[in-house]
Amino acid sequence: MSIEELFFNNNAKTAINVAQARGVILMTARINSLDIFEYTPLQVKQAVTGYGRADKIQVQRMVKMILNEEKLPKLDDITDSMAIAICHAHSAKFAEKL
């Protein structure tokens, strides 16, 4: 299972909610004996766009192109999860070559 490392700026309420959800996800993965692979936002952006400081629009466009989709889901969280999966797929392919 791949997941993005927690990153937040100023909104403590959002950070707490995200941290709680992340905790449940990680606990569920461990209970089910899943391997967990964590990636920073910079790693995800680098893997998807080739540039670690890409903005959200650039990431969305590349996800759409990589997955050969006509349009992307309306929710940013879904596109973000697709980007994390792409990042993991790239990382897994690289690890297989080692």
Does residue 17 register a pLDDT over 90?
no
CATH topology for the 2-97 domain:
Nucleotidyltransferase; domain 5 (3.30.420)
Contact by Cβ (8 Å): 38, 84: no
Residues 6+ away with beta carbon under 8 Å from 61: none
Does residue 95 register a pLDDT over 60?
yes
> Mean pLDDT in the chain?
90
Q: pLDDT tens, 62-89? A: 999 999 999 988 888 899 999 999 999 9
What distance in Å separates the CA atoms of residue 80 and residue 48, rounded to the nearest whole number?
A: 11
Q: Which residue has the higher pLDDT, 12 or 56?
A: 56
* pLDDT band (50, 70, 90) for residue 13: confident
Please count the other Cβ atoms lying within 10 Å of the Cβ belonging to residue 48.
24
Contact by Cβ (8 Å): 88, 37: yes
